[in-house]
C-alpha cells in the first residue's frame, strides 16, 4: 500500500495535521503531526503536504550512527531503544519528512497508522490517497490515453446538447500505415 499526495488538490486546511496530532500524539498540536503542509506564495503557488515516502533506500537511515532506522512491512521505522537523538536523520531525509519537537524525546515520522491513515480519512479534498502500489502512475496513464492525438470524432445531439465522441479508429496493417 502507498500513501500518495496530490498537491493540486490541497487547500492548505491542515485538517490532516490536526487529525494526525490528536490521533497519534494525543495532543491538539499541528507541530506534533507526522505530516506538514507547506503553503508557498506567490512564486511559486503551491500547497504541498510533506510526509514520509517510506523510501526503498531510506536516506534517513544512512547517516544514523546507531543503525536505529529500519524497514519493516513497507514502513520505515525508528528504533527508540537504539536512537540517541543526534537528529542527523532530520537533515538526511531529502524531503524533510522527519520531525522533531521539544516535548518528544526522539525524532518522529509517519508510520502509516497501522494500515488506515488518519490523514487520508480526514482530508476534505481527496488530496491524500492510500492505495495499492500498482495504482501509482495510473493518473498519468489515463491522461496519456485520453490525449492521444490521432483520434477521430463524431458530433451529435444528446437531449438538446451538442456532444463530441472521440475514438481511435481501426486501421488495417500494411503500407498505408504511418
Partner 1 sequence: MSVKGGYFFRILEVDLTRGTSEVRSFDEEFALQFIGGRGFGARILADHLKGRKKRIDPLGPENILVIAPGPLTGVYLPASGKNSFITISPATGIYGDSSIGGVFGVELRQAGYDAVVLKGRAPLLSALSIQDDRVKIIPMPHAAGATALEGEQMVREATGDEDMKIACIGPAGENAVVYACVNTDWSRNAGRIGIGAVMGSKNLKAVAVRGSKDLPVHDLPELIKVSREGYDFLRSQELFKFWQDQGLMSVVDYANKMGILPTHNFKETVYDRADRMNGYMMEDRYKIADSACFGCSMSCGNVCLVKEGKYRGTVTEGPEYESAAMLGSNLGTSNFSYILKANALCDELGVDTISTGSIIGSVIEGQERGFLTPEDLDGVEIGWGDEDAILDLINRIAVRDGVGDTLAGGALAIISRWPEMASVVNHVKGLEQSAYDARAAISMALGFGTSDIGAHHTRAWTVATELENGTGWGLEEKADFVIYHQTVRPLFDMLGVCRLPWIELGFPEEYYQRYYRAVTGVDLSMAQLMERSRNVYDLTRAINVSLGMGRKDDYPPKRSFEDPVPSGPTAGKVIDREEYEKILGIYYEKRGWDEDGKPSLEL
Task: Decide: is 8 part of the binding site for partner 1 (CB under 8 A).
Answer: yes
The stretch near partner 1 (CB under 8 A) out of 9-17, 84-92, 106-114, 165-173 is 9-17
Encoded one letter per residue, x for contact with partner 1 by CB under 8 A and - for no contact, window 23-42 reads x--xxxxxxx------x-xx
The stretch near partner 1 (CB under 8 A) out of 87-95, 122-130, 153-161, 163-171 is 122-130
Interface with partner 1 (CB under 8 A), residue from 1, 6, 15, 48: 15
Q: Which is closer to partner 1, CB of 20 or CB of 52? A: 20
**CA geometry: angle 95, 91, 133, nearest 5 deg:** 30
Q: Which is closer to partner 1, CB of 32 or CB of 109? A: 32
Size of site (CB under 8 A) for partner 1: 30
Task: Decide: is 9 part of the binding site for partner 1 (CB under 8 A).
Answer: yes
Q: Which is closer to partner 1, CB of 41 or CB of 148? A: 41
Q: Which residues contact 19 (CB under 8 A, 6 or more apart)?
A: 118, 119, 121, 122
Task: Decide: is 104 part of the binding site for partner 1 (CB under 8 A).
Answer: no
- Footprint of partner 1 on this chain (CB under 8 A)? 8-15, 18-19, 22-23, 26-32, 39, 41-42, 45, 47, 101-103, 122, 124-125
Amino acid at each position: 500500500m502507498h500513501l500518495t499526495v496530490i498537491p493540486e488538490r490541497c487547500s492548505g486546511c491542515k485538517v490532516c495535521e490536526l487529525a494526525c496530532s490528536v490521533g497519534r500524539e494525543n495532543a491538539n498540536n499541528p507541530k506534533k503531526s507526522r505530516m506538514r503542509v507547506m503553503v508557498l506564495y506567490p512564486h511559486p503557488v503551491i500547497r504541498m503536504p510533506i510526509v514520509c515516502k517510506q523510501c526503498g533506500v531510506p536516506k534517513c537511515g544512512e547517516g544514523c550512527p546507531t543503525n536505529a532506522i529500519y524497514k519493516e512491512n513497507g514502513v520505515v521505522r525508528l528504533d527508540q531503544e537504539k536512537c540517541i537523538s543526534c537528529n542527523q536523520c532530520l537533515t538526511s531525509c531529502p524531503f524533510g519528512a522527519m520531525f522533531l519537537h521539544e516535548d518528544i524525546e526522539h525524532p518522529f515520522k509517519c508510520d502509516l497508522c497501522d494500515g488506515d491513515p488518519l490523514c487520508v480519512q480526514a482530508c476534505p479534498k481527496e488530496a491524500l490517497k492510500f492505495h495499492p502500489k500498482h495504482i501509482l502512475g495510473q493518473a498519468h496513464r489515463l491522461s496519456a490515453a485520453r490525449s492521444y492525438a490521432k483520434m477521430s470524432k463524431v458530433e451529435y445531439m444528446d437531449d438538446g446538447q451538442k456532444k463530441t465522441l472521440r475514438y481511435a479508429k481501426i486501421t488495417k496493417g500494411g503500407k498505408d500505415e504511418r
